[in-house]
Amino acid sequence: MTEFGLVYSHSGWVPRYVSSLRQYPDCSVTIALHVNSEAFIASEQSDLMGDLELALAELILKDESVPKTDLFGNR
């Protein structure tokens, strides 16, 4: 649970690529992040991808000017 409600997430990596997906169903927002580097990102000592996703979520979900719609365009 986050300040934006429930969140589902999945991440993974292959050499030179890191990707992550977070869905905030209560806000009808999904964030997909793909980085063409694994340096300092796929490390177990770093949560850079998580930090980047949280920063994006805060920008998007706290900005009232960004329309929040479901898959069908309903608010």
Q: What is the pLDDT of residues 10-69, one digit of tens each?
A: 988 888 888 888 998 888 888 888 888 766 665 666 677 778 888 888 888 887 766 666
The SS3 assignment for 59 reads: helix
34 close to 19: Cβ distance less than 8 angstroms:
yes
pLDDT (0 to 100) of residue 12:
84
pTM tops 0.85, yes or no:
no
| pLDDT for the residue 5 | 87
From CA 51, how far away is CA 59, in angstroms rounded? 12
